[in-house]
A and B are shown apart, each in its own frame.
Chain A
């Protein structure tokens, strides 16, 4: 058994850039902006950073993205890596950064991710991105756009458990209710279940409002060792548990369409943190499409299999509910610049655990779970975060 990372590292800085349609900044600039804001939040200068993690950008890709950002800033880290994808990769990068700190490879890591999917993509790049999902020989020839892969999961869940389109729509509605309380969110007008069902069908059963946004934006966090965490100006938010689960890459090769490797990721993260789903005050669950949230609620133990639809429809995940989900408005209503998407769930969780979330502050915010998946329900990472009392 490896050494536990429980409480060994803490997030001491976190910030987002403006999000939405940001025409006056490119993807590289957004990444730098996110870093500068996170460093300011932490109250440190760039020269105190000795670890840097980024994700590559679709709009402004570099062969060595993290090295490019380090060069731009003129910092010279001992740990420097960029990840090629988003979703769960964001948190696996956090897992590795915490391990790097624990092993002494570095002391203070910045994780920064940004992209301009809305304003920075040529038509050719956008098409190439859309068609790069799926197995090149055994899936892509059949013409599935990205929502179609998730529609296959939704349809199977509906068939197996009686989940309905109204249940899926309830996820979009709950998420929008959170976004309405977040001045930074891209979509803040109220919607109803009827509005979701009346929006254009994209790939049955998914309507337009079951699908996440396409945006520009970035976010960054500063992670350091427990020993150093108290030297920063903000209340540290401790990494209490982290776990991964990797089930497949292609949905046609999935062992199950309705139960994912989030089960493994969650089990490992809970075990490290020494907590269970009943201890969690609020959660941020990856919501690229509405059915994903339902499967995550079930696989992470918040609901029995098949019960997530009624759980969301009953209002439990909405503001003031028993388990607020995606308190910033998620990928559905806050922002989704592609690979950086999960970062905003992380920065939001830090703000909530510090008690700095303003109008949308959840009443009890001691222990949070953040989960992301990537691929098509393929690669999962769960993290459990808490303040000083929980650590």
Chain B
């Protein structure tokens, strides 16, 4: 079997290492500011609400809703071609922050804005596990 072309693997940095480590454990984590209580994503060294550096990692419920989506008909590269048509979506997490992801586990045509979704995890390599979302049960 010929080697499959590589997907775009996230290049983990020191400030995001805990996020990706949690994904490996099949946990979705976001940052919470212990000074003002706001949740944020993506990971940063400061709270964008109050500028405090008092950020802690908390496990998110993994529940959210589709804020917007598109069905991709022409893949970004060969590595994604087998998945066409695939759904790229913005997910509003229950805790507040928005993240980009794929909606999987359903007919791409059935995805709608406002649709409730739940995180699922996809293993890409020994070290990388990627959070995606499926329709909430």
The answer on a CB contact under 8 Å between A143 and B88 is yes
Count chain B residues whose beta carbon lies closer than 8 angstroms to a beta carbon of A: 36
Name the A residues within 8 Å of B10 (CB-CB).
136-138, 140-141
Q: Which chain B residue lies CB-closest to A252?
A: B100
Query: Does chain A have a CB within 8 A of B36?
Result: no
Is A204 an interface position by the 8 A CB rule?
yes
Bound-state Cα–Cα, A252 to B67, Å: 10
Least CB distance, B123 to chain A, in whole angstroms: 13
The reply to whether B67 and A140 form a contact with Cβ atoms under 8 Å apart is no
Q: Which of B12, B72, B83, B101 contacts A137 (CB 8 A)?
A: B12
Q: A257 within 8 Å of B by Cβ?
A: yes
| 0/1 string, B68-107, CB within 8 A of A gives 1 | 1111111111011001001011100000001111100000
Decide if A22 is an interface residue (CB 8 Å cutoff): no
Known contacts: A153-B68, A156-B68, A202-B74. The answer to whether A141 contacts B88 by CB under 8 A is no
Neighbouring A residues of B13 by C-beta, 8 Å = 137
B19's closest neighbor in chain A, by CB?
A: A137
A230 is an interface residue with CB less than 8 A from chain B: no
Q: Which of A143, A159, A202, A252 contacts B98 (CB 8 A)?
A: A252
A135 and B98 alpha carbons, distance in the complex (Å):
14
Q: Does A151 contact B (CB under 8 A)?
A: yes
- Residue contact B70 to A152, C-beta cutoff 8 Å: yes
B-chain residues with CB within 8 Å of residue A148 when the two chains form the complex = 70, 72, 76, 88
The answer for the CA separation of A145 and B72 in the assembled complex, in Å, is: 8
With a cutoff of 8 Å between Cβ atoms, the chain B residues found around residue A253 in the complex are 42, 98
Instruction: For residue B19, give the distance in angstroms from its CB to the closest CB of chain A.
Output: 8
Q: Does residue B11 face the partner (Cβ distance < 8 Å to A)? A: yes
Whether A204 and B70, one on each chain, are in contact in the complex, defined by CB atoms closer than 8 angstroms, is yes
Give residues of chain A (110-164) contacting chain B, Cβ–Cβ below 8 Å. 127, 130-131, 134-145, 148, 151-153, 155-156, 159
A135 B42 Cβ-Cβ under 8 A: yes
Complex contact A142–B75 (CB within 8 A): no
A143 contacts B73, C-beta separation under 8 Å: no
B1 at the interface (CB under 8 A from A): no
Q: For B12, list chain A residues within 8 Å (CB).
A: 137
* A-chain residues with CB within 8 Å of residue B21 when the two chains form the complex: none
A138 & B42 in contact (Cβ 8 Å cutoff): yes
Q: What is the CA–CA distance of A139 and B41 in the complex, to the nearest angstrom?
A: 12
- Taking Cβ atoms with an 8 Å cutoff, the residues of A that contact B are 127, 130-131, 134-145, 148, 151-153, 155-156, 159, 200-206, 251-253, 257
Shortest beta-carbon contacts, A-B, top 9: A151-B70, A143-B80, A137-B10, A145-B76, A156-B68, A252-B100, A140-B8, A204-B71, A152-B68
